[in-house]
């Protein structure tokens, strides 16, 4: 028995999730809201995205508003959501849409993919959900549903072309946006990674993995390679008047445009004994007992933290600035720097 898209759509009409970026049934979706949510949801969970999405939409209700916002303000609003290149691309895309497209997003995949930061998945999702175009939308939830329906034994990521082909064959001409969201909802609520609720699934009669009782085996994934370990030091310089030294990272690269506490290079084979040579200012630097552990996509980082109390008259070195300690929360601090702040102000000292 082949899976029937209409059964999924009927299920979706009864059980669709209520999400802040999802238009109610019968209401035309706002392409700006769809684009904003899809960019935020890349490699991030729905609960984590909700407050950021609502905050962005309240502050910048139109794409033109976002385009006119200062980059620093956008990065501050994004801080904590991770994968910061998305924020830079989001802002760049808003500027292009506002300046070159009159504030209107292209309605087709090709036009959408020409915009900064929009890849194949995001273009398909926007074209389908916002404009009703038939497009093949495959995220992690859809991959799980498809591999189970068809018992695709090729491990990810090599299985992606097979999954897309099967998803293409299943995607209907009518209501493609609802179908795409229905597949996402199915994977998020029924076809879960562990203990899927197969008895409630609209595809239960057509799922080969469920018939074999082997649904949790899919999708297969290639063995993960071990992340290399890097290390470094960060310096928390606090003046007597409650000002703390920070600097802005270069606009491109890891954590580009974000605020950080001065520190050393992050590298394999870092020697802690050499950390003092990299202190941003002369001072009585004391190492904080607690280290910071943080995992990035391609490496694991360990930071040793040094703290010094400096005179009120201390001037910031070139490329750095002093900000009020009680206003650090308003800076565009990435998660790893929030950890540094917490360790420097709450940890014991050696």
Name which of 38, 30, 84 is nearest 61 in CA terms: 30
Question: How far apart, in Å, are the Cα atoms of 137 and each of 108, 160, 167, 279?
Answer: 13, 12, 8, 49
Name which of 49, 11, 42 is nearest 178 in CA terms: 11
Name which of 147, 126, 145 is nearest 137 in CA terms: 126
Rounded CA gap, 33 and 53, in Å?
9
Q: What does DSSP assign to residue 226?
A: P
72 is catalytic: no
Q: Of 38, 109, 260, 331, which one is the catalytic site residue?
A: 38
Say whether the peptide bond before residue 157 is cis (omega within 30 degrees of 0): yes
Rounded CA gap, 54 and 37, in Å?
10
Burial (CB < 10 A; 0-12, 13-18, 19+), residue 94, is: buried
Characterize 110-128 residue by residue with b for buried, 16 or more Cβ atoms within 10 angstroms of its Cβ, and e for exposed.
Answer: eebbebebbeebbbbbbbb
Burial (CB < 10 A; 0-12, 13-18, 19+), residue 83, is: middle
Burial (CB < 10 A; 0-12, 13-18, 19+), residue 233, is: buried
Residues 6+ apart with CB under 8 A from 312: 239, 240, 241
- Catalytic residue numbers, as ranges: 38
């Amino acid at each position: 028995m082949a899976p029937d898209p209409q059964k999924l759509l009927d299920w979706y009409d009864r059980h669709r999730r209520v999400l802040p970026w999802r238009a109610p049934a019968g209401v035309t979706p706002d392409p700006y809201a769809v684009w904003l949510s899809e960019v935020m949801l890349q490699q991030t969970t729905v609960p984590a995205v909700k407050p950021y999405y609502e905050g962005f939409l309240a502050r910048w209700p139109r794409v033109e508003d976002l385009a006119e916002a200062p980059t620093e303000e956008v990065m501050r609003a994004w801080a904590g959501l991770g994968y910061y290149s998305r924020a830079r691309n989001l802002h760049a895309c808003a500027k292009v849409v506002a300046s070159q497209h009159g504030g209107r997003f292209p309605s087709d995949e090709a036009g959408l993919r020409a915009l900064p930061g929009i890849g194949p998945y995001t273009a398909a999702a926007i074209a389908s959900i916002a404009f009703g175009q038939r497009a093949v939308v495959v995220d992690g939830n859809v991959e799980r549903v498809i591999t189970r329906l068809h018992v695709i034994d090729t491990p990810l990521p090599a299985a992606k072309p097979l999954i897309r082909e099967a998803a293409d064959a299943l995607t209907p001409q009518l209501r493609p946006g609802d179908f795409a969201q229905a597949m996402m909802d199915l994977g998020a609520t029924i076809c879960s990674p562990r203990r899927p609720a197969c008895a409630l699934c609209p595809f239960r009669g057509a799922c080969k993995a469920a018939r074999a009782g082997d649904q949790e085996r899919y999708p297969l994934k290639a063995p993960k390679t071990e992340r290399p370990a890097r290390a470094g030091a960060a310096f928390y310089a606090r003046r007597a008047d409650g000002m703390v030294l920070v600097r802005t990272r270069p606009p491109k690269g890891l954590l580009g445009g974000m605020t950080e506490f001065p520190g050393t290079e992050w590298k394999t084979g870092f020697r802690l004994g050499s950390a003092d040579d990299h202190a941003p200012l002369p001072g009585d630097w004391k190492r904080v007992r607690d280290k910071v552990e943080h995992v990035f996509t391609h490496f694991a980082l360990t930071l040793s933290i040094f703290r010094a109390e400096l005179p009120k008259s201390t001037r910031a070195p070139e490329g750095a600035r002093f900000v009020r300690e009680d206003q650090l929360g308003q800076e565009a601090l990435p998660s790893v720097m929030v950890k540094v702040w917490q360790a420097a102000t709450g940890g014991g000292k050696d």
